[in-house]
Amino acid sequence: MSQKVVLVTGCSKGGIGFHLCERFAEQGCTVYATSRRLETMDGFKHSVEKRAMDVTSDDDVKLVVQSILEEQGKIDIVVNNAGAIAIGPLLDVTLDQARKAFETNTFSVLRVAQAVAPSMVEHKQGIIVNIGSIAGNIPTPWNGLYCAAKAAVHALSDALAMECKPFGVKVILVTPGAVRSNISTNQAATLELSPTSIYKPYFDRVYERVHLSQAKGSMPTDEFARRVVAKVLSPNPPTYMSLGGGSRLFALLHWFPHWLVLWIIGSRTVWRKT
């Protein structure tokens, strides 16, 4: 059987995408890693092809996907991993910030899927892996844009899974909990509230939210990648996976009354002032 050809988005060094590429390559796959800048992907230990690609650009995505298809004749697996947190109170964010959050976290998933799917349909096989978040299942304060964008990814994934099944294309939704990565590095350095923000008394709580996914109990990135890749390459891949710090707790919260979930999360992150 020929090697699997894998395309992964959002592969900056130290992140989930970077480790996913390493694991797929370790399993003998032909791997294409993408990021906006090539230099952010330095350091792969295994053989990984690097491509510069901005997932918010129609032209970039089409050109890179087409170049891989010309080189390999197929793309067996695509992992929509690119994303960015968007920390800040919802009443403070601008609509431009909201559009950017959805462009990066949500529309990119649809953009890449639409570019890759025709080839998969032609071959009557393929796997689209969308990286969501447990915060897309149950939103948390101070990260509302990211939660909403990931919730949209979950809805898109479920609908896409049903629509693609007749053509032999499988869609897998992965909802990570806390996983060690570099996702919060840039946000922490630039985080600030407007001088007129009504949330200035809560700044420390907002700042804590930036680093929440990197706190004690977060899953090592390599372990996360190992488990995800093993499932994706298994003979019968699941349609849904949730793993990482807090994933079991969030799964349990689904069984609680909605008002109680909001009270539990809100009491820990909002109503207690610093």
Could you give the residue numbers annotated as active site? 146, 150
Q: Supply the DSSP string of the chain, one letter for each residue.
A: -PPPEEEES---TTSHHHHHHHHHHHTT-EEEEEESSGGGGTT-SS--EEEE--TT-HHHHHHHHHHHHHHHS---EEEE-------S-TTT--HHHHHHHHIIIIIHHHHHHHHHHHHHHHHT-EEEEEE--GGGTS--TT-HHHHHHHHHHHHHHHHHHHHHGGGTEEEEEEEE-BB-SSTTHHHHHH----TT-TTGGGHHHHHHHHTGGGSTTPBPHHHHHHHHHHHHTSSS--SEEEESBTHHHHHHHTTS-HHHHHHHHHHHHTSS--
